[in-house]
Amino acid sequence: MKNEILKDIIFAILGVIFIIVGLFAVKNVLNYENKIDTVGTITRIITYHRGTDNESHDVYVSYTVDGENYESRLGSYSSSFYEGKEIEMYYDKDDPSKIGVKSLDLLVWLFPALGLIFVILGGRGIIVELNRKRI
């Protein structure tokens, strides 16, 4: 029984950590005040393997800001991407080489959501154990 409550406490603590880190990431990623919407074209997708089953992708996008052409590495990947595809994206108005895709930015919500699930499950286990001890 001690091991069960200890596991639940650890689970809940991990959940709180996931929520805090996730909300910090959400705040930073979803801050669109300094970001300008534009359309870019995927120019290259480089696929490489890390180990046997781990595949990673570097996606490069070209776009124009104030008449100047840029090509930057996108920090995310979707299986719907292909070379030549036009995508809705944004760039930082102070540093146009910093880019992103709003639709993929929403994935950052997975981290705090997973943390909330951990907190609920760990907290439920703690409550069940404490009620058992009372009875």
* pLDDT at residue 30 in the model: 65
* pLDDT at residue 81 in the model: 93
What's the average pLDDT block by block, 10 residues per block, for the chain (135 residues)?
81 91 77 85 91 84 94 89 93 89 77 91 86 77
User: What amino acid occupies position 116?
Assistant: L
For the chain, domain boundaries: 2-134
| Helix%, strand%, coil% for the chain, nearest 5 | 45, 35, 20
CB-CB contact of 92 with 98 (8 Å): yes
* pLDDT at residue 54 in the model: 80
Q: Which helix (H) or strand (E) holds 111?
A: helix 110-134
